[in-house]
Structure 1
Amino acid sequence: MILARAKGASKLLGLCLIAGVLLAAVFFPAAAGFGAVSNQAADTVSGTSAEMESAEPAVVTTVTDRDDNPIAYLYHQNRVMVGPDEISDEMKAAIIAVEDHRFFDHDGVDWQATFRVAVQNQFAGRIEGGGSTLTQQYVKNYLAFIVGDGDEEAFGEATEATMARKLREARIALDIEKRMTKDEILTGYLNIVPFGNETYGVHQAARTYFDTTPDQLNLPQAALLAAVVNAPSVLNPGRNPEDAQRRRNLVLNRMGDEGMLGETVEDSRRVAEEAKQEPLGVINPLNRLPNGCVGHGNGDVNGFFCSYVMNYLREHGFDDEDLKRNGYTIKTTLDPVATQAAKAAAEQEVGKTTPGVANVMAVVEPGRESHKVRALVANRDYGVDPDRGQTSWDLPSAVMPFGTGSTYKIFTAAAGLEQGYKIHQEFDSPESHTSSVYRNGNNPYVVTGGMDRRVSLQDSLAFSPNTTFVQMSEEIGLDSVVDMAYRLGLRKGMDGVNHNGTGIDPDSDDPRVSMPQRDFLKQNNMGAFTLGFTPTSVLELANVSATLTSGGVWCPPSPIEAITDKHGNPVEIEEQPCEQAVDEGLANSMVVALSKDDTVGTAANAANATGWNRPAIGKTGTTQGHRSAAFTGATPQMAGAVLIFGDGASPQPICSGPPVTECGVGNIYGGHAPARTWFRAMNVILEGTEVAALPQADPRHL
C-alpha cells in the first residue's frame, strides 16, 4: 500500500512538473531554463504568426481556352483558397465538433485539455499527442505543408512527438489568436489541411469527393470531410469506406451531443441520427484534379496546345515552380471549335492508332497586331500510352525532322518577286535540269520534274515544277531564299535548330549540329532547299501563310490571350513584337500568286472532294521517297498547315491509301490526305463567317 502511494505521488509530482514547465516555457521562455536557445525560439514566434496572418499557400494555376473553359491545371499542392463566407456552416461546425469543441472559448491553447493529455502522457510514459486546439493544428499544418512544403523531413519535424514541438505550437497559437479572428483561423486551417487523394483545403476536397463547392456542402458531406482530416490515408473513403463512415458518424454524434444541429440537444441528436442513415455519397471515380498537360478529359485534344503554352511561357521567363504555386489564370488563344474540327479532320485521314504515321495540323489566325494560335492537333492523342495512339512528342509545334517539300517554293517565289519577278512572268520548265550553281556532294546536282514548257510564276506555284524553282533559286541566290523563309515565319526552323532538326551544339566538330540551319544551308550552298527537304515546324509553316495574309506582317505565333495572378491582377508577358517582314504589296501579290492551287493546281481534287468554295491561298509539298507530305494555306480569316510523316522508330515511305499507311514504296502527295485534312477542318472552322475576298496584287508585280 505504501509503495503504491509512493508511485502515485511520483506520477503526480511529474504531472506538476510538466504543467509548470509548460506554463513557464509559454509565458517566460528564458526563465524556464531554456536560456539563449529558448529566447531565440521566442523571437521566431512573432515572425511565424505574422507570416500565417498573411499566408499565401501554394495554389492551383488554371489554363483555359479562349472561352475560359479549363484545359489544364498546374500545381505543387492541389489547393484553391476560399474566404470564410465561401464555406458552409455545416463544414465549420463539423470540424469544430470533432477537433476542438471549445474552439470559441480558448485563447489558442485549451489548458483543460492540455493538462488532461499531460496526465495521460505521464502515465503512458511518452508523448502521445492529443489536446491540440484547432489553432495549434493550424500551426502544425502550416509548418508542415506551407513552411515545410510537404517535405518528408519538414513534416516529421512539424509533427514529432516532443515537448519542444508542443511548446512551439502553443506559443505560436497564442500569438495567432491575438492577430486573427476565430473565423479567420478556422478558414485558414480549412484552406491548408490535407484531405487525402493529393487534395489540400476544403475547396478542392469538396470538388474531389462530391463535385461541389465548399459553400454547398451539406451535413453528411461536411461530417465526412471533417472525419477524413483526422487520418487522410487511413480514412480514404474511396479505399476504406467502412472506416470513413464510422468516423463520419462519430463526427455527427459529436455535433448532435454539442447541440449544433437543433434548438435542443434532443433535436440535435435526432438530426444527427438522420444524417447517419445517409450514404457517404462520394462520387465514383473521384473528381481528382489532373496535374500538367496529360490526364485531362480533353487532354487527348488539348494536350499539344497545353505543352506549347508551357514551352512558350518558359521561353518568356516564367518558372515552372512559380506556375505551379502561385495560382495564375492563363487564358490562352485555343479555339475549341477549331481544335475539334482539326482533330476530327486529322483522324479522318489517318487513324489514331495507325502504326508509324502522324497527321499533324496547326491553325493560326492572321492579323497585323498578333498571330493567335487557334489549334494544335494530331491524329495522335497527347499522352504516354502508344498502344492507345498517344504521344507526348510536340508534333504540331516542335521542329520535326521531316521536310514539307514544295511548300518551300513559296520562299523562292517571294524572294523572286522582291528582286523584280512578275506573277505572270513565264519561266523555263524543262523535264530535267543540271545545275551550274549547286552540287550534289562531288557530283553535279540534277533535278527532275518539269512541265516541258514555259510556265508563269503563278502557274508554277499551282503545278509545282521542280526544275523551274531550282533555276529561279540559281538566279536570285540561295541566301535570299533562305532569308525569305526566316522573314516569313520559319524562325526556329532556320535559327533555333541545326540541320538535323535538333538543338545547336556549338562545341561539336560536326557543322551539321554546331551551327543554325540557316547558316549551314548558306555555307554549303544547298540548292535543294527550295524543294523543302529540311526539318520544319508545322506551326511555323502555318504562320508563314498567316504572315502573307496579314499584309506581310509577321508576329510570333502566340498562345497567350491574358494572364492574371491569384488576386486577379494582370501579369505582363513580353512577347516579341510584330514586324513588317515583307512589303505589303509583295505579300498581297504572293497571295494572288498562290490563289490557284485549290482551283486548278495540285490541291484542286482535294478541294472539290471536300466541298471547298472559298478563295484561298495554298501550296502542297512532298519530300523525296514520299516520306512526308504537306499542305499550307489560308483565307483572310484563318491560316493553317498540315504535315503527314512517319513517327515510328524507323520511318518508312507512306502510301495515300485509303487508308494512309506505311508502305515499301510510297505514293502520298501533299494534294492527297494533307490537303483534304486542311479543307475539311477549315470548312468547319469558317462555317458561318463571310466568304472573304483575297487582296489585289500590287501592279508592280503583275
Structure 2
Amino acid sequence: MIEKLSPQDIRRYNWYIWRFFIGCFVMVVIMLGLTALGVFGTLPSLRDLENPKSDQASEIISSDKRILGKYYFKNRSSVTYREISPNVINALVAKEDNHFYSHSGIDFWRTFSIIPYNLLNKKQGASTITQQLAKNLFSSEQPAHNAIKRIIQKLRELIVAVRIEKHYTKQEIITMYLNTVDFGSNTFGIASAAQTYFNTTPANLTADQAAVLIQMLTSTTRNSPVRHPERAMANRNFVLKRMADEGYISEGQANELKAKPLGLDYHQTNHVDGLAPYFRAVLKDDVKKILSTITKPDGTPYDIDRDGLKIYTTINYSMQQYAEEAQREYMRDLQVQFNSQWKGVKLSEKIKNYKLLIDQGMHQSDRYRELKSEGMSEEDIIHNFYTPDTLNMFTWRGDTDMVMKPIDSIVYCKMLLRNAMMSMDPTTGYVKAWVGGIDFAHFKYDQVKQGARQVGSTAKPFTYAVAIENGYSPCYQVDNVPITIKSPGAPDWTPGSSPLETVPGMITLRTALAHSQNWVTAYMMNEVGPTPVMELIKKMGIHNDVPPYPSICLGVFDATVMDMTGAYSVFANHGIWTEPTYLLRIEDKNGNEIYNYTPKVKLVMNDQNAYVMVDMLKSVVDMSGATGNRLRWKYHFTNPIAGKTGTTQDNSDGWFIGMTPKLVTGVWTGCENRDFHFRTTRMGEGSNSALPIFALYLKKVYADESLGIKKNLDFDLPKGGLNTVLDCDLYNQQQKGTNDVDKKLSF
C-alpha cells in the first residue's frame, strides 16, 4: 500500500527538485562566466574573430586565371557565398541545423530535444552550424573523454558561437563553415570537395551531389562515398528527404534524385597532380625565399602551405597543356628509336664509364638511402640490389609494375631519354609553358632552370652575332676548309666536321649557319676573338661559366633551357634582353598584394644586328637541306619561323630553339648521363630529338585561336628600316662595284 504524501511533503520535494535545477542553472551560469573570463583557457579575441585562422591552400594561378595547382598542408580553398550552389546551403541547413536562420548561435530547443529527436531516427546532432564553425576555427583539441573537460569544451564552443553570430552575418557564417569543414581524402572546404568527388565547382553542384557531400560531415570515413558507397547512398537519400521536409525541393524531386546513382568522378589530388609539376616545384622554392623576407602585418611569417596565398604566374594554362602533350606524343616514339639502336648491344662494353655510372646511380637512389637508414650493411644492400623484386617503373604507356633486379632498374632509368622545354614571349619575357622533365613522380630534377647541359651548335649564332656587329655581312663568303686556331698559353684547336654534313667550297655565313658548319664558325671565331663572344653570351643571360676559349663557338659550355631560350629572345626582341619571368605577384588570402616582380631589361645589341640574326636564323628553316628545314617538308609550316638546332659530341644532347614573332621556345633532349646517348647522328641530332616537339607544340598553339597568336605574322623590321643588305645577289653586285672603284682609284 502506497502512503499518500501530505501537501507539506509535496512542497518539500518540489523544493528539492527546484533547488536541483536552480543549482544546475547557477552552476552552468558560473561555468559560463568562468569560461568567458578565460579561466579554463584563452578564448578568441575580437581580432581573432575578425581574422579566423584556418589552414588554407595557396593557389598557383595561370595567366588565363585558371588554377595550375596548390600548395597545402590541408587541401583547402575558399569561395564566396555567391560561388556556392544553393543546393549545398539548403542541404547543410536541412541536415545539420534547420533553425539556423532563426537562432543566435545556440539552438536551445534543439539542445533539449536531441535525445527524443534521435530516438525518432532524425539523425541530428546538438551543435548548430555556428557551434561547429567555432570548433573548426578556434579549437584544435580532440573531444575529451572526461565528462567535465568535455562540458568545458562545449561551453567554450557556445560562447565563441554567440560571439561569431554578433560579428558575422548568416551568409558569412555558412560560407566560413563550408570553406573550413573536412570532407575526407585530405580535402577541406566545399571547393576542394566539389573538385575531388565530382570534378566540378561548388556553384555547379546539383542537389543530389550536395547531399552526398553534406552527409559526409557526420563521419568522413564511415560515410565516404568511395569506401562505403551503400551507406553514403542511404545517407544521401536521408539528406534529400530532409531537404523535401524543409521545403527546399519537392517530394517528387527528392524521390527522383534518390533513384540516381552516386555519380562520383573521384580523383584524389596531391602535390604532383595537375599541370606543370616541375614548374610548381621550382616556383615553390622561389616563393618560400620571397616570403622569408616579408612578414604579415602582425609580424608573423607567411606560410605558403597554410595561408591561402594567391600566386599569379605568367604560365598560360592551355599552352602548358599543349607543351606537355607534345612532349608525350613524340618522346614515346623517340624512346622506341633509341631502344632499337641499343637492342642486342652489351651496354657495359659500349658505354663509357658504365660500371661507375651504375654504381653512382645505386648509391644515389632512394632505395639505397632507405636501406642504409635501416642499418643494413653495404654487403647486404648490394645483395638486395641484385635480388629480383616487384618495382613500379615509369613507361610512356603509364606506370607499370615490373619484376626485376633493382640494379637493373638503375640501368633502365639511365637508358630513359629525358626532355625539357620552355616557351616565352620575347617582348615581355613572360614564360608561357614550362616542362621540366618527363615525369615528376619518378624524376623530380628540373631541366629547365636547374639542369644545365652542353649547348652544342645552338651557341653558333652568338659568334655570328659578334661578326655582324663587326661589319661582316650574312653574304660574306668563307672557304669551308679545316682551320687551326692558336691561342696564347693554350693548345692549338682544330674542330672536326662530319664529311657527310660538310658543305664544300666557298659558302656564305648564312649558308654556314643554316647548315651548321663547324669550320666556317671556327673561322669567324678566329676573326672576332673568343672574349667578345664570351661577353655577348653573358650579356644575353647565360648564367653558367663560359670560358673565353675558341671552342665556345661550337657550344662546349653548359647552359639551361631557360637561359638559352632567354638568350635567343634577344634576337626576336630587337636586341633587348628581357629576363625570363614566371612569377608576377603574390596576394594574401584577402586579396592584398604582398609582392610584385618587375623583370630586368637591358639592351644587348642594336636592332639592326638583331634583325640580321633573325633573318639568318630563318635560313636554318627555309634553306633546302638546312638543319631546321624539317619544319617545312615534314611538318608543313609555311609561316615565318627562325631557329637553330644543336647536337653535342657523341649525340649526347639534342637541342632546338625556335622563334616566331610572339614566341621563343627552347627544347632539349638527352639521357640523365651524357655517356648514355644515341649511336648515330641521324637519330641523335637536334633536328630529330628536339625539333619535332617544338613542331607539335606550335601546331597546337596555332590551332587554338583563343590564344591570339597569329600564324602568319613576320618579324618586325628595325625602327627606321633596315640598313643591311640581305639579298646576296645585290650584295655581290655592290661588292663588285666597290672593287671596281678601288681598282680605278689605284691608277
Report the TM-score range of the alignment, normalised by the length of the smaller protein.
0.7 to 0.9
Equivalent position of 1:284 in the other structure:
264
2:399 matched to 1:348? no
Equivalent position of 1:230 in the other structure:
218
d(CA) in 1 for partners of 2:608 and 2:305?
A: 43
2:430 matched to 1:414? no
Number of matched residues? 607
The structure 2 residue matched to 1:584, chosen from 574, 597, 607, is 607
- The answer to whether the Cα contact below 8 Å between 2:618 and 2:640 also exists between their aligned partners in 1 is yes
Specify whether residues 697 and 669 from structure 1 end up closer, same or farther in structure 2 by C-alpha distance, changes over 3 A only: farther
- The answer to whether the Cα contact below 8 Å between 2:455 and 2:555 also exists between their aligned partners in 1 is yes
2:49 matched to 1:52? yes
2:155 matched to 1:167? yes
Q: SS state of the match for residue 666, structure 2?
A: strand
- The answer to whether the Cα contact below 8 Å between 1:473 and 1:527 also exists between their aligned partners in 2 is yes
Specify whether residues 609 and 344 from structure 1 end up closer, same or farther in structure 2 by C-alpha distance, changes over 3 A only: same
d(CA) in 2 for partners of 1:446 and 1:595?
A: 28
Identity %: 23
- The answer to whether the Cα contact below 8 Å between 1:562 and 1:570 also exists between their aligned partners in 2 is yes
Specify whether residues 416 and 238 from structure 1 end up closer, same or farther in structure 2 by C-alpha distance, changes over 3 A only: same
d(CA) in 2 for partners of 1:273 and 1:427?
A: 85
Task: Please report how far the alpha carbon of residue 140 of structure 1 lies from its aligned counterpart in structure 2 after TM superposition.
Answer: 0.9
d(CA) in 2 for partners of 1:165 and 1:455?
A: 87
Aligned AA (2:456): G
Q: SS state of the match for residue 304, structure 2?
A: helix
The structure 1 residue matched to 2:552, chosen from 508, 529, 539, is 529
User: In the TM superposition, what whole-angstrom CA distance separates every residue of 1:66-94 from its partner, at most 9, and x where no partner exists?
Assistant: 44444333334333434445555554454
Aligned AA (2:690): P
Q: SS state of the match for residue 295, structure 1?
A: coil
Equivalent position of 1:124 in the other structure:
none
User: In the TM superposition, what whole-angstrom CA distance separates every residue of 1:96-142 from its partner, at most 9, and x where no partner exists?
Assistant: 444344545554344566678899xxxxxxxxx97433332221111
Aligned AA (2:573): S
d(CA) in 1 for partners of 2:73 and 2:596?
A: 22
Specify whether residues 593 and 164 from structure 1 end up closer, same or farther in structure 2 by C-alpha distance, changes over 3 A only: same
Task: Please report how far the alpha carbon of residue 282 of structure 1 lies from its aligned counterpart in structure 2 after TM superposition.
Answer: 3.0
Specify whether residues 193 and 363 from structure 1 end up closer, same or farther in structure 2 by C-alpha distance, changes over 3 A only: closer
Task: Please report how far the alpha carbon of residue 646 of structure 1 lies from its aligned counterpart in structure 2 after TM superposition.
Answer: 1.5
- Give the 5 Å matches for 1:679-694: 679=695, 681-682=697-698, 685-686=701-702, 689-692=711-714
User: In the TM superposition, what whole-angstrom CA distance separates every residue of 1:452-500 from its partner, at most 9, and x where no partner exists?
Assistant: 755543333233333443454355443322221121232x3x2xxxxxx
| Pairwise CA RMSD | 4.4
d(CA) in 1 for partners of 2:664 and 2:507?
A: 27
- Give the 5 Å matches for 1:289-328: 290-292=269-271, 294-296=272-274, 299=275, 302-307=276-281, 309-310=283-284, 313=287, 321-322=303-304, 325-328=307-310
d(CA) in 2 for partners of 1:376 and 1:427?
A: 39
Aligned AA (2:481): P
Equivalent position of 1:479 in the other structure:
531
Specify whether residues 337 and 134 from structure 1 end up closer, same or farther in structure 2 by C-alpha distance, changes over 3 A only: closer
Specify whether residues 529 and 228 from structure 1 end up closer, same or farther in structure 2 by C-alpha distance, changes over 3 A only: same
Task: Please report how far the alpha carbon of residue 46 of structure 1 lies from its aligned counterpart in structure 2 after TM superposition.
Answer: 5.8
2:690 matched to 1:674? yes
Which deviates more, 104-113 or 227-236? 104-113
Equivalent position of 2:575 in the other structure:
552
- The answer to whether the Cα contact below 8 Å between 1:108 and 1:133 also exists between their aligned partners in 2 is yes
- The answer to whether the Cα contact below 8 Å between 1:433 and 1:447 also exists between their aligned partners in 2 is yes
The structure 2 residue matched to 1:463, chosen from 493, 515, 518, is 515
Task: Please report how far the alpha carbon of residue 315 of structure 1 lies from its aligned counterpart in structure 2 after TM superposition.
Answer: 6.4
- Give the 5 Å matches for 1:421-440: 421-427=472-478, 429-433=480-484, 435-437=486-488, 439=490
d(CA) in 2 for partners of 1:352 and 1:627?
A: 14
User: In the TM superposition, what whole-angstrom CA distance separates every residue of 1:339-361 from its partner, at most 9, and x where no partner exists?
Assistant: 52684377336637554223443
d(CA) in 2 for partners of 1:81 and 1:339?
A: 25
Which deviates more, 195-204 or 429-438? 429-438
User: In the TM superposition, what whole-angstrom CA distance separates every residue of 1:176-207 from its partner, at most 9, and x where no partner exists?
Assistant: 33333444433332332212222223344344
Aligned AA (2:714): A
The structure 1 residue matched to 2:668, chosen from 643, 657, 660, is 643
Specify whether residues 657 and 677 from structure 1 end up closer, same or farther in structure 2 by C-alpha distance, changes over 3 A only: farther
Which of structures 1 and 2 has the larger relative contact order (alpha carbons within 8 angstroms, sep 6+)?
Answer: 1
- The answer to whether the Cα contact below 8 Å between 1:334 and 1:374 also exists between their aligned partners in 2 is yes
- The answer to whether the Cα contact below 8 Å between 2:585 and 2:597 also exists between their aligned partners in 1 is no
- The answer to whether the Cα contact below 8 Å between 2:320 and 2:434 also exists between their aligned partners in 1 is no
d(CA) in 2 for partners of 1:468 and 1:655?
A: 26
Q: SS state of the match for residue 286, structure 1?
A: coil
Aligned AA (2:247): L
TM-score by length of 2: 0.69
Specify whether residues 670 and 254 from structure 1 end up closer, same or farther in structure 2 by C-alpha distance, changes over 3 A only: closer
Equivalent position of 1:242 in the other structure:
230
The structure 2 residue matched to 1:448, chosen from 496, 502, 526, is 496
User: In the TM superposition, what whole-angstrom CA distance separates every residue of 1:506-531 from its partner, at most 9, and x where no partner exists?
Assistant: xxxxxxxxxxx24xx25xxx432222
Aligned AA (2:669): I
TM-score by length of 1: 0.73
Equivalent position of 1:664 in the other structure:
none
Aligned AA (1:636): P
Aligned AA (1:532): G
d(CA) in 1 for partners of 2:466 and 2:213?
A: 67
Specify whether residues 140 and 657 from structure 1 end up closer, same or farther in structure 2 by C-alpha distance, changes over 3 A only: same
Alignment gaps of 5+ in structure 2: 3-14, 117-123, 294-301, 337-414, 704-709, 732-747
